[in-house]
Chain A
């Protein structure tokens, strides 16, 4: 059996969790293994049908009022009790903030190793093989697992969603018993960023500004572009973040986030090796820079040598025109 953790936010299962579930189902069908999903929380049964639509035949719902807010220790306790009972061969998470926080705690409780932030999975001799980046993408390593369950987290925005099917399946609800003192760490509040901007790791399009943006106020030009482009997020190079033009949450690169959107647009980004590591796996890369020798052009699919301040305004209008067609 494959078990996939279903993360949700604001009453909806996250797309990244459905991507992991879709990938699990593809491997499950190859291995002749049942694909199941698990929801942890309080009053979350209503989310189960969404997991059926993306390939789960069963959804386990672990219910306890103490789990209405995220707690790594509490959620781990709940998952361990289920896993000891159903003994899945493979456990998958989306490599989101929560997935990367929770999955290693669970792995350690189960006494197994975990491969984090994988970008590819395959079936090898009936078992799971995964590929993951090292050095933010300067190298890639493939792994198989020596113990069971085989555990991995899958990078968001990499694995295709399955075609949704009919929402039919079995919901198995379990009231889990957790002593209150076992919930050692709990989230008491979620503070949304202003404007609730989309995160660079979850966006289809990332619009990034570098040192060439010249100042904090000029990032508004990029914000205008993201307001035109659907499902887009604002990124930044390390030098822009270190100059305090923009918050670190936006930083792409080796000491920031690694992204692989469908479209990556770099404005005034020279393309330091640390930055290239974090974005080279983007499906399509655009660069605008004054310096024709900027390293960013080496990875760009389409480059414009020119002044970004003169290119952005007409580009915004052209994109608006095309997107309204």
Chain B
């Protein structure tokens, strides 16, 4: 099995997000960047499939040079190869652009694969669009938000999370899968893995080498404004004995808040 995993470098979930209102962008200074949490499940799933069925796991990421850190982490987890697609555009919040880069790489240079794995969404942009878009561009089946995956021969079955239920979907390989928490328990890097990853070369591919014309990557969304959430005024805090507190709360919900 030739397994490709696509990952993204994002600010960790502890981050406080500050905005530069002049440039309409997130202030990068002071942010700690990590492998996007859902991508860890995608990497882990690829490793488990390789362990069960043999094959090779290659991890891709598009971004600036700093992206190497998360690719090294994936190598340390056990991926065989990692490829950096050099893209210095920064965050555009335009999933179509990212999907075009990935699908172009898969059409021109990395054409042999059985399964494409993604995290169900990147933390931050929260778009959850790239997997479906890549599937459309390559005319492949897709199953998103997957919590269970089984591959048998050249077909697969996946459970995907929906509102209050799970859908069981079937598909033929090659296919696009996006991972949800619960799919597996991502492993920690071993010391041996970290040492091996340090020595491993990460090839760099430019957009030109993938035959991508700059106009193809024109951003389709125009960012008009970026803002922080409104600051909430502090509410009413009480410390009465439980029975009394419960009574006050119930009354407040009915009479003041009018939510019940």
Judged by a CB distance under 8 angstroms, whether B123 is at the interface is yes
Contact of A105 among B15, B132, B223 (CB under 8 A): B132
Known: A108-B132, A134-B125, A186-B169. A255 touches B226 (CB 8 A): no
Can you name the residue of chain B whose Cβ is closest to the Cβ of A249? B161
Judged by a CB distance under 8 angstroms, whether B105 is at the interface is no
Docked CA distance A102–B37 (Å): 23
Docked CA distance A106–B161 (Å): 20
Known: A107-B96, A138-B229, A304-B238. A322 touches B250 (CB 8 A): yes
Interface contact B133-A142, CB-CB below 8 Å: no
Judged by a CB distance under 8 angstroms, whether A268 is at the interface is no
Question: Cβ of A8: which chain B residues have Cβ within 8 Å of it?
Answer: none
Can you name the residue of chain A whose Cβ is closest to the Cβ of B125? A134
Question: Cβ of A193: which chain B residues have Cβ within 8 Å of it?
Answer: 164-166
Docked CA distance A273–B32 (Å): 15
Question: Cβ of A114: which chain B residues have Cβ within 8 Å of it?
Answer: 95-96, 129
Docked CA distance A303–B182 (Å): 32
B residues 121-151 in Cβ contact with A at 8 Å: 123-137, 139-145, 147
Judged by a CB distance under 8 angstroms, whether A314 is at the interface is yes
Question: Cβ of A297: which chain B residues have Cβ within 8 Å of it?
Answer: 234, 237
Judged by a CB distance under 8 angstroms, whether B251 is at the interface is yes
Can you name the residue of chain B whose Cβ is closest to the Cβ of A156? B163
Question: Cβ of B199: which chain A residues have Cβ within 8 Å of it?
Answer: none
Can you name the residue of chain A whose Cβ is closest to the Cβ of B124? A135
Known: A138-B16, A138-B229. A185 touches B142 (CB 8 A): yes
Q: State the total of A-B contacts with C-beta under 8 angstroms.
A: 296
Judged by a CB distance under 8 angstroms, whether A299 is at the interface is yes
A residues 102-145 in Cβ contact with B at 8 Å: 102-109, 111-117, 124, 129, 131, 133-145
Residues of B bordering A, CB below 8 Å: 11, 13-17, 19, 24, 26, 37-38, 93-97, 99, 123-137, 139-145, 147, 159-172, 175, 180-182, 218-229, 232, 234-243, 245-247, 249-254, 257, 259-260
Interface contact A97-B145, CB-CB below 8 Å: yes
Contact of B13 among A98, A202, A205, A255 (CB under 8 A): A255
Smallest CB separation, B123 vs chain A (Å): 6
13 further interface pairs, Cβ-Cβ under 8 Å (given A111-B96, A189-B168, A273-B16): A104-B127, A105-B135, A113-B97, A135-B126, A144-B224, A191-B166, A193-B165, A249-B164, A255-B13, A300-B234, A302-B249, A314-B242, A315-B250
Contact of B220 among A147, A198, A247, A318 (CB under 8 A): A147
Smallest CB separation, B22 vs chain A (Å): 15
Smallest CB separation, B36 vs chain A (Å): 10
Smallest CB separation, A118 vs chain B (Å): 11
Interface contact B222-A143, CB-CB below 8 Å: yes
Smallest CB separation, B110 vs chain A (Å): 19
Question: Cβ of B161: which chain A residues have Cβ within 8 Å of it?
Answer: 97, 249
Question: Cβ of B168: which chain A residues have Cβ within 8 Å of it?
Answer: 187-191
Question: Cβ of A100: which chain B residues have Cβ within 8 Å of it?
Answer: 128-129, 144
Smallest CB separation, A144 vs chain B (Å): 5
Known: A113-B221, A315-B250. A72 touches B163 (CB 8 A): no
